[in-house]
Every structure is written in C-alpha cells, then in structure tokens.
Chains A and B, each alone.
Chain A
Amino acid sequence: MEKIALTIDGLNIVADKGMTVLETALRNGIYIPHLCYHPDLKPSGVCRLCLVEVGDEQLVTSCRMKVEQGMVIKTKSPEVDKVRRAIVELLIADHHTDCRNCPSSGQCELQRIMASLHISVKRMRPLKWAREELPRDTSNPFFDYDPNKCVLCGICVQTCEVVQGTSSLYFVGRGYGTKVAFFANKSRCESCRQCVARCPVGALIPKTVR
C-alpha cells in the first residue's frame, strides 16, 4: 500500500493512499466533529461539520477529501472554529432540547460535538428557537421517527438503500421543510433496524423503548 505523509494540526502523520482526511484524523486520535459520516457509507458531505482548513484558509469537507502528499491540515483554527460553532448552534436551535427524556442521551453525537466544542445551550448565540413542534411519524411497526430531533444527516436513508438494498426511508419536502419519511408499503422494511442503530441522534427510536 502506497503511503502518504501529511501534517494534521502540526503532527506528522502517515496515511494509506486513498484514505480521506477525516478517516486519517480519526484513526490517529484526532477528533473532527461529524454527523453525516459513517464508515460503511459514501461520504455525503452535507452536515458541513468536518470542514477543515487545507493550506491557505480554504475550507474543505474532510470526509470527502483524499489525503495528498505534503498536505497541511488544520482541524482547529479560528476560522474553522467560528464556522463550525455556528453550524452546531444552528442545529441546536432547531433541535428538541429535552435531552433528559431522550433515550439517546449519552450516546448522542450532537451532545458529543457540543461537549467537544464547549457549547452549552445557555451560552449560545441568541438564535430563534424552532417555533412549532412537529408530529412524530409512528407509521413504521418497528420504530418511530421524531422530526424535531432529526439532523437530516441521511445516514438512515443511505443505509436502507445501500446496506439493506431496500428503500423504505426517503427524504420528503425541500429546504427547511425537508423530513425523512417511510414508504407506505411497509412490507419493504425488513425490520433490520440498522437505520435505528446508526442514527447519530435520537430521531429514530425503537418502539419497545417507549
């Protein structure tokens, strides 16, 4: 395997050719916040949290960037921090805040990211909180979907499509109104619950928990 030498946050790192910057960083114990990345799936690059600085101030999603010889990567710079913090705060302002009653509390990626960036709800920018509470989708026999907690990372949709070869989950709506929905034909769902297992937040919850 061809080796590639690069620096991440000043550390000299050797990676295998073909790896992405995010994979390389994670493997070397450097945490880059991410929500839509999953090792078994194609990086969709939609959560924008894994943006890093490459060379001179260009921000690139590290999940899609392949390592290159001599690359200089900064995962934490004032520029990156500013943008990343704003994205996380936007997500939180748009998210349910009742962590205490959420079955995913403690295993939630969003909580982990907040902790890593020292973001607390109380000290956030004065954003406008989501006004209305959207109804849960309980039409699937095995699990429920809570749009108020969904970060639209797309992992469930891709998992259903790629890993299971079915497609019971899909995106509906546009822009701010985008949601995940279940196909009416429930027989398509193989109840493998892979989507639930991979949900980084508490948006897909097995029915038995409630």
Chain B
Amino acid sequence: MVNRQRMILVCQGTGCISGGAEQLLSSLKREVAKLNLGESIEVKRTGCHGFCQRGPLVVTEPEGFFYSKVKPDDITEIARSQLPGGKPVERLFYRDPITDMPIPYYRDIPFYSRQQRTVLRNCGNIDPEDIEDCLAVDGYQGLRKALHEMTPEQIIREVKQSGLRGLGGAGFPAGRKWEACRRAPGDEKYVICNADEGDPGAFQDRSIMEGDPHSVLEGMITAGYAIGAKQGFIYVRAEYPLAVKRLRVAISQARNKGFLGRNILGSGFDFDIEIFQGAGAFVCGESTALVLSIEGKRGMPKPLPRPRTAEVGLWGKPTLLNNVKTFCNIPLIIIHGSEWFAAKGTERSKGTAVFSLTGKVVNNGLIEVPMGITLREIIYDIGGGIPGGKAFKAVQTGGPSGGCVPASLLDMPVDFDSLTAAGSMMGSGGMVVMDEDTCMVDIARYFLNFTRRESCGQCVPCRVGTKQMFDILDDITQGQGRLEDIDLLLELGEAVARSSLCALGQTAPNPVLTTIRYFRHEYEAHIHEKKCPAGICQALSSPQGLN
C-alpha cells in the first residue's frame, strides 16, 4: 500500500451501491488517473457509513469533508478539489434539515456527532476487501494479544467482567455462555456466528459484514481459542450476496496472513471458518433451528427443557452461538480491557447498541449509541426529529416482535431491561419511528402478519394463536371489530406468549399487547365508533370525514 496523504473514500455499502456508487468509484478512479493524480491521491472503496438515506456518500481525507447524494457529474469536481489549493465542493455538503446551513465536516454532522461508533468504528473508514487497510488500523491486534499473552481462561474472565450481553436478541451474558461452552466436555466444539438477520428492514449485521468483515472473523477466532474449538461457521442469509463476497475475500486474506488455518500466529492453535448460506426463513435465526439448518435438516426450534446449545449444539457437540455484533466487540474488549468496555452503558447493559433507525424520522440510517441513551436523544438529536413538522407517536424497537413505545416514555433509557419493562425488547436492533399519521391497530396487524407467516407451525399457540389474533386485528381494521375483541386479543396474546415453544411465538404478541396498553383508545375508536383516528384504515371513516 502506497502511503498517500490524500484520500477520497467512496462508500460501497449495499445502500450506496443501489444509488450508483459502483459507477462513481470507477469513474473517480479514471478521473484521478486522467488528472495524473494517482501518485498523490488514493481512491478508496469503503463499507457502509450508516447514513444510507443521503447516499451515495463520498468523504475526503485528511480534511473530513462529507459529500452526500453524489452523482457521476460531480466526480471531476471532487477529484480537482483534492489538487493543491483545491476548493471543497460546497454544493455537495450535507445541509442541516432545519436550518438548511451546510455542514462541511463529517464530525460536525449531528447524525454522527451524537453517536459512539465503536463496533462500527471501521465501517466507512477502511477498504473491507483489503486486509492491509484493516491491519493499518487495529485489525487482529486483539487476536495477537489473546494468543500470545492470554490463556483461554483469562479471555473468558475478561469477557465476563466486561458485562457484554449478546446483541442478537435475548441479551444473554456472553461470558457466561463462553464459560459454559469451555467447560462442556468434549474435544470437538464449534463457534457459530449468527448472521441470519431476518427482521424486515434491519441491516446492522449486513453493514458490519460488508464494511468490516475482519472484526467478525477476529472475534470468532478469539472465541474459538477461548472455548477450544477448531472450526467456525458464519450463518449468513442467502439474500446478502455482497456480505458473503466480502466475507469470502476476508477469509482468504486472513488465511494468507496466518490468522486462520494451522498454527495461527505461531501459537499452535488451529482454526478455520466456513460460510453457510441460510435458506432465508426468519425462524432459522433461532439458535436450535439454526443448528438444525446447518446440519441439513428442517429448521425447527427445539422445545425446552433441553440442553443448552453451548453444551449440545451442532452435531451434538458444544457450540458457541453469538451474533455478529457480539463477536465484533471481542477484539476491542481484548485490546482495551473489560474495564474500558464496562465504563460505557448502564449498570446492567454495558457497551453500545447498534440500531437501524427507520420510519418517520428525518435521518434514517445505521447508528451506534451507548446503552442508556434516551429514546428522545436517538430520535431527535441523531434522527433529527419527525419530518414535516408532524408529531411523534411511537417507536417500535426490536424487530417484528418488539413492542411500540409511546411518547410518554421518550425519556426512558434504551437498554435491555428498560425496553423489556416497557413491553418491547432490544431484539437485534430494529427501530421504527411512527408519526401521528400512523394507525396503531394497523401497525399491530402489519407486524402480526409477518410473525404469523414466519411461524414454523409446529406448536399450537403460535401456529393457531397468531392466526386468530391476525384475523381479529384484520376485522377491526375492516370495521368488523366486536366489543369483546380487545379482551380477546389480550387473553390470546398472554396465552401465546406464555405457552409458545420458542421465542418467536413468545414475543409475537408484543406489538398487539403494547398497542393496546398504550393506545387502547385507537382500538376503541375502530370498534365502537367505526373510526380510524389516523385515517389509515380505508374501510373506516377518518376523523376529518375525508373517506
């Protein structure tokens, strides 16, 4: 790698690519060559910056100018701006959505300045297909330290003390899982990275794999050393071709550098990683279904009581299953120590959380925030508030089976336990903002339609219960609601949550239960007055009498 001072970084995440960023990158390279600047300016491909809504994104270094919505016609100007004495391309600066003032620098944009990007630290800054770029930052430093200076027990102690909780949904303490897996008898063990990410609209894990695949690998290799495994699998959704491609490139480069394979970094430890492409069913993200799916069987969750996957997992062997983001935190915990990590977040939820912020919010995108930040800070400071001067109504967190949190809870801290107490959950990090024009009955129906279709169908409460609840909600939105329907939904919701076999059914009623808890009057308006207060349900009259 030539150490060129000046850089033009072109985002090549899935979002920016769909906006034409691949063509931008090649034209920019051509332009730089044409201007004979190849020696002094490096044009670099990066992963996702998170602000996909503003894409395609281009950043120039060392100044840190941030250009948004860049088009092929802008390329020459951007290239020339990097010439000695060149001027930044002001018309491409991001503008504050409220004041309309241009904000030239990446670091000053509120969307970024209020975030704490640690897991996402490399996303958008390094070339994900060039291991040298990753090594130039802190790539594989954690693994080096782990293999050369620490015993597996020390690593596990460090992970335990950090307080890191699994970021794939349930928030189970990572260190405890690692310890259980290390202690489980047997020489053959496996590490699996859960990159199924089946939640509609979520793209956190995808962006990380596309933008910083080596961090995932490094976390997994360290885990393999800690629990005593020689083989790892990454279970990726088949719909993520770019993530798969970048992971493949990363794995082969890591093998060439001796981070994977036999005798890693001369430590005597052997480990390799294979990619497994999932068939796409949402339920295959559930731990036992995922394991069956890799074994080539039908991905159906296994009921409790049963041994934990950490003890009896893939092919009956002890298996450590963690989410992409959980693994990405590991190198940082190893490098900086558990105290550094535990200093961030709240008493019981340490570190940061990554969310896909979407819906009725000015700034949509991928964000990373310290645990314990309030919903208000996320939605108003980072998200820039609700577009069009509309009022905030609710935010749904945790994917399709999360709950809807109302405005009265905007100052609630965002962490595992507070979200659960509010009837929602952290999930794997979906966050959908809704404004006053949203009908909460319709929203509950929408999410239940997803979960009922994704139910694997083996257990009665989830298979039949979600269908019944959906039918009732559908009737309410069609003006066919009955007086007893609200109580019926509450009773069924409780029964499905308490008796379903796996977490899909156990959490599926959340959107219904929370919308009844916080927005009962909307249900009543639909049923008693045959009105949809938000004016969404076509079969009902809207308050203004427009329909």
Contact of B464 among A60, A65, A90 (CB under 8 A): A90
Q: For the complex, what is the distance from the CA of A49 to the CA of B190, rounded to whole Å?
A: 35
**Assuming A45-B303, A83-B499, is B461 touching A128 (CB within 8 A)?**
no
Q: How far is the CB of B512 from chain A (nearest CB, A)?
A: 14
Q: For the complex, what is the distance from the CA of A151 to the CA of B454, rounded to whole Å?
A: 19
Q: For the complex, what is the distance from the CA of A186 to the CA of B492, rounded to whole Å?
A: 41
Contact of A64 among B304, B454, B464, B494 (CB under 8 A): B304
Contact B471 A128 (CB under 8 A): yes
A141 contact set on B, CB distance < 8 A? none
A128 contact set on B, CB distance < 8 A? 468, 471-472, 475
Q: For the complex, what is the distance from the CA of A51 to the CA of B459, rounded to whole Å?
A: 13
Q: For the complex, what is the distance from the CA of A175 to the CA of B451, rounded to whole Å?
A: 9
B463 at the interface (CB under 8 A from A): yes
A-side interface size class: 35 or more
Whose C-beta in chain B lies nearest to the C-beta of A49?
B460
Contact B461 A174 (CB under 8 A): no
Contact A51 B303 (CB under 8 A): no
B313 contact set on A, CB distance < 8 A? none
A74 at the interface (CB under 8 A from B): no
**Assuming A61-B303, A82-B495, A125-B491, is B500 touching A48 (CB within 8 A)?**
yes
A177 at the interface (CB under 8 A from B): yes
Contact B492 A86 (CB under 8 A): yes
**Assuming A48-B500, A64-B304, is B457 touching A176 (CB within 8 A)?**
yes
B207 at the interface (CB under 8 A from A): no
Q: How far is the CB of A77 from chain B (nearest CB, A)?
A: 12
Q: For the complex, what is the distance from the CA of A174 to the CA of B454, rounded to whole Å?
A: 8
A29 at the interface (CB under 8 A from B): no
Contact A90 B458 (CB under 8 A): no
Contact of B491 among A51, A65, A86 (CB under 8 A): A86
Q: For the complex, what is the distance from the CA of A154 to the CA of B459, rounded to whole Å?
A: 10
B457 contact set on A, CB distance < 8 A? 152, 171, 173-178
Whose C-beta in chain B lies nearest to the C-beta of A174?
B457
Contact B305 A48 (CB under 8 A): no
Q: How far is the CB of A183 from chain B (nearest CB, A)?
A: 15
A82, A83, A94, A177 interface centre (most CB from chain B within 10 Å)? A83
Contact B461 A176 (CB under 8 A): no
Contact B491 A87 (CB under 8 A): no
Q: For the complex, what is the distance from the CA of A194 to the CA of B82, rounded to whole Å?
A: 79
Bitwise, A120-146 to B at CB < 8 A (1) or not (0) is: 000001111000000000000000000
Q: For the complex, what is the distance from the CA of A128 to the CA of B281, rounded to whole Å?
A: 27
B455 at the interface (CB under 8 A from A): yes
A8 at the interface (CB under 8 A from B): no
A61 contact set on B, CB distance < 8 A? 303-305
Contact A175 B461 (CB under 8 A): no
B325 at the interface (CB under 8 A from A): no
**Assuming A174-B455, A175-B453, is B460 touching A48 (CB within 8 A)?**
yes
Q: Given A90-B461, A175-B456, 12 more contacts at CB 8 Å?
A: A64-B304, A82-B494, A87-B460, A90-B465, A91-B464, A94-B464, A128-B472, A152-B458, A174-B453, A176-B464, A176-B467, A178-B457
A interface residues, Cβ below 8 angstroms from B: 44-49, 51, 59-61, 64-66, 79, 82-83, 86-87, 90-91, 93-94, 125-128, 151-152, 154, 171, 173-178
Q: Which 3 A-B pairs have the closest CB atoms?
A: A86-B495, A178-B457, A45-B303
